[in-house]
Structure 1
């Protein structure tokens, strides 16, 4: 599996559209790179976008999913603190995370996660997130239901969310554990 591009809009600290294209310079020829920046600049949100598009989960939200609780939303509505749709930037009516990747079958795919507010109004209730998977470059859809799409993505990547987390991401505050690991 190889990540080719990460795109998104209106997720947490990243307002508007953003693109990280690993097929373009200077990232294309970089063997290794670090995501750096000031607190709140969007480093974790970029990794959240990657995970949302591929797994409808994020390491950050998984850490709070063991807790119970709700957050107040628009007009007295409440949302569970672990729900992925909470990543929609405040004041925005829609957002998405999209990842182009090379699957373990050497084919290219585009995975997309999106969320919106009802009637595309700032006062609209947050709707359930949607997901899609397309074969590139023909944009042929793979799977229709979210459960089908998630199963196909995992099959194309060849890693579960937990395996992806360990192999591809090194979550914040887990670097020390990585350094001290015996295996």
Structure 2
């Protein structure tokens, strides 16, 4: 996956920002450092990428599942309870809307635009916090997905990683690198293969294993057939040859008798024809 452009609006500590990964100094560097003072928005940049791609961020995994009382007056004259680990909590206070938009090219070479958006009712600071609107647009075909299940499936196909795998490798929260190290061997292998693009070697290895297994099965079947074949001893061969010679002699004698019988039949047939002709002449 290749990041192209990230737009952030009213998200956590960032009020308004655009990061262009294809133009400017970032376009010439394959590796760069995000640095700044505490609260400058370093983690918010990573949050914005995760929200656009997965509608989730590991920052919220550390928050307890408690409720936050929205002190802003809502249009229904009620107060709204929002879970502490709800991603909508990242909307800046005293703002009416927030979003993050990420343009990227997936591992499938398809360009996408992923957008995460949240707002208060009627775009009023006092309005009720609305549900998140999460969309994914295929910039090649112009098709836009709006259903979460469809977006999740398309994102996983484009990025090649689930949210959990993404958080264990690409977007590591502070102190979470141990999660990757403590993963099962199979999980780490799967993640590393996807990151390094070496999964094809596993596929080739699996095909070789399957082909070898098939060849071995065929080899064993042929061996069983060979084992069922009885090789004759010289005495048995001699006895069989003698029996064949005896049978051949019998066949020869039978053919001679057949020849004599056919000659007799022809003679009798001719004799009968002559008797009939003599009777006709009389």
1:90-112 CA-partner distances (Å, limit 9, x unpaired): 01101101111111111111100
CA distance, structure 2, for counterparts of residue 87 and residue 22 of structure 1: 23
What residue in structure 1 maps to residue 126 of structure 2? Answer: 123
Query: Aligned residues, how many?
Result: 178
Q: Which has the higher strand share?
A: 1
Tell me, yes or no, if the aligned pair for 1:14 and 1:45 is still in contact at 8 Å. Answer: yes
CA distance, structure 1, for counterparts of residue 44 and residue 146 of structure 2: 27
Tell me, yes or no, if the aligned pair for 1:130 and 1:146 is still in contact at 8 Å. Answer: no
What residue in structure 2 maps to residue 141 of structure 1? Answer: 143
For residue 179 of structure 1, report the CA deviation from its aligned partner.
10
CA distance, structure 2, for counterparts of residue 125 and residue 181 of structure 1: 41
CA distance, structure 2, for counterparts of residue 179 and residue 30 of structure 1: 26
The secondary structure found in structure 2 opposite 1:27 is helix
CA distance, structure 2, for counterparts of residue 117 and residue 6 of structure 1: 23
What residue in structure 1 maps to residue 28 of structure 2? Answer: 29
What residue in structure 1 maps to residue 67 of structure 2? Answer: 70
Q: Which runs of 5+ in 2 are unaligned?
A: 74-78, 189-282
The RMSD of aligned alpha carbons is 2.0
> RCO greater where, 1 or 2, for CA within 8 Å and sep 6 or more?
1
Tell me, yes or no, if the aligned pair for 2:121 and 2:130 is still in contact at 8 Å. Answer: yes
TM-score w.r.t. the length of structure 1 is 0.89
What residue in structure 2 maps to residue 102 of structure 1? Answer: 105
Tell me, yes or no, if the aligned pair for 2:4 and 2:20 is still in contact at 8 Å. Answer: yes
The secondary structure found in structure 2 opposite 1:39 is coil
**Stretch of structure 1 that moved more, 110-119 or 158-167:** 158-167
Q: Which has the higher helix share?
A: 2
The secondary structure found in structure 2 opposite 1:147 is helix
CA distance, structure 2, for counterparts of residue 126 and residue 97 of structure 1: 17
Check if 1:156 corresponds to 2:158: yes
CA distance, structure 1, for counterparts of residue 67 and residue 111 of structure 2: 38
What residue in structure 1 maps to residue 175 of structure 2? Answer: 173
Q: Which runs of 5+ in 1 are unaligned?
A: none
Greater Cα radius of gyration, structure 1 or 2: 2
CA distance, structure 1, for counterparts of residue 92 and residue 124 of structure 2: 13
For residue 180 of structure 1, report the CA deviation from its aligned partner.
7.4
